[in-house]
């Protein structure tokens, strides 16, 4: 009989008789890392994320180009003449479609090559192009193009709105900047109350400031017609009073209290805006008229008017101009907030700059 083999040697023997056999550890760090790297689920998630980023970038870029092109092109060839307006505009649309088709075809081929270099490259290029375009195109240029585009698509309704907005710009242009400066300084002690009221009732802050400027010139008082305080509150709907009273203690419900007055003014404006289907000009006009003679809604139905343009001829001068005056003051507050000072509308390129700020409340 041979000598017995030690147990240690038996453990190290390989299946073919050789020694030092090691059983692989399937849970090792190296094995787990290799599995994670080749995980098809995570690779699919990465590809989907990159496609979403690429698609979003292309969509934003294309929409911006279409708006700028149609806006400026439509403004350039506006009119009803067949050869000078209609045909050139139609030809421009056809050219835009052809260029878009060629671009997408070329991008599809280029994209294959970019993905062979790196799966991240197409998305990175699209995102970079979008950011560069957004940085290089001046805001005023895009705002002007967007205005032309809205007029092109909006038709009669947009044309009427543009007319009213330019009435606001013209009224601001005629304002005495020195007097406006005094008014803005008088408004400062009431700023916090007005801003809180605007936030509570979801109203543009500058619009609410312009409303107070029109009503009281920031000289709170009781007027001869029964108006009180900053917003010259007279008769308000019962629902408005209930809405405001729930926010104030009984001893604070006083129209001479600027904060209570501001909240009541904001709630009243919100009420009339809702009644006029959020038409800003009609809402302001309804605020000014109040419930007298059945209110603005009743008067419009009586005369068959459908909007601010068609109701204007039936109004006296003061109520007819009221929304324009409110918005011209609101615009002054916005300009001062953006620039830190008031700007002369007719100087340099201030007109385009002011228009790029947007109309408060619109």
- The full set of domain ranges for the chain reads 40-137, 161-356
Kindly report the pTM of this predicted structure: 0.67
pLDDT value of position 123: 87
CATH fit for domain 161-356, picks 3.30.470.10, 1.10.530.10, 1.20.1560.10, 3.40.190.290: 1.10.530.10
- Selection from 318, 288, 327, 313 nearest residue 171 by Cα: 327
pLDDT of residue 186: 96
Which tokens belong to 356?
């790029």
d(C-alpha 360, C-alpha 116), whole Å:
50
Cβ atoms of 357 and 205 within 8 Å: the answer is no
Three-state SS at 19 = strand
SS3 content of the chain, % helix, strand, coil (to 5): 75, 0, 25
- pLDDT reported for residue 35: 47
Residue linked to tokens 């009732």: 201
Furthest-apart CA atoms within the chain: distance in Å: 131
Question: For the chain (length 362 residues), average pLDDT per consecutive 10?
Answer: 53 50 50 55 82 86 85 83 86 90 89 87 86 76 80 74 90 93 96 96 97 96 88 91 94 93 96 93 92 85 88 83 95 96 92 91 88
Cα separation of 312 and 201, whole Å? 28
User: Distance between terminal CA atoms of the chain?
Assistant: 106
Instruction: Give exposure, 26-63, as e/b (b: 16+ Cβ within 10 Å).
Output: eeeeeeeeeeeeeeeeeeeeeeeebeebbeebbeebee
């Amino acid at each position: 009989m041979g000598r017995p083999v030690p147990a240690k040697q038996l453990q190290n023997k390989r299946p073919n008789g050789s020694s030092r056999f090691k059983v692989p550890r399937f849970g090792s760090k190296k094995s787990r890392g290799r599995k994670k790297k080749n995980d098809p689920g995570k690779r699919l998630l990465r590809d989907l994320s990159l496609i979403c980023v690429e698609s979003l970038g292309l969509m934003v870029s294309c929409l911006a180009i279409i708006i700028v092109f149609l806006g400026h092109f439509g403004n350039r060839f506006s009119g009803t003449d067949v050869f000078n307006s209609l045909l050139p505009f139609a030809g421009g649309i056809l050219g835009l479609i052809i260029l878009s088709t060629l671009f997408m075809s070329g991008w599809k081929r280029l994209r294959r090559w970019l993905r062979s270099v790196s799966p991240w490259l197409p998305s990175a290029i699209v995102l970079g192009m979008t950011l560069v375009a957004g940085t290089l195109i001046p805001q005023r240029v895009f705002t002007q193009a967007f205005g032309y585009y809205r007029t092109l698509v909006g038709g009669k309704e947009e044309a009427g709105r543009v007319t009213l907005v330019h009435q606001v710009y013209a009224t601001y242009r005629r304002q005495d900047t020195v007097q406006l400066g005094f008014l803005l300084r008088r408004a400062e002690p009431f700023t916090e109350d007005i801003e809180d009221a605007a936030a509570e009732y979801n109203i543009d802050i500058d619009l609410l400031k312009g409303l107070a400027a029109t009503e009281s010139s920031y000289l709170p008082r009781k007027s001869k017609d029964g108006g009180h305080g900053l917003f010259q509150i007279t008769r308000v709907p019962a629902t408005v009073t209930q809405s405001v009273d729930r926010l104030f203690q009984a001893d604070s419900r006083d129209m001479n209290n600027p904060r209570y007055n501001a909240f009541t003014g904001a709630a009243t404006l919100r009420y009339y805006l809702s009644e006029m289907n959020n038409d800003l000009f009609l809402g302001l006009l309804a605020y000014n008229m109040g419930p007298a003679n059945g209110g603005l809604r009743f008067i419009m139905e009586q005369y068959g008017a459908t909007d601010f343009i068609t109701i204007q001829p039936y109004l006296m001068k003061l109520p007819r101009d009221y929304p324009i005056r409110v918005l011209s003051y609101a615009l002054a507050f916005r300009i001062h907030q953006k620039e830190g000072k008031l700007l002369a509308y007719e100087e340099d390129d201030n007109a385009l700059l002011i228009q790029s700020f947007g109309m408060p409340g619109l």
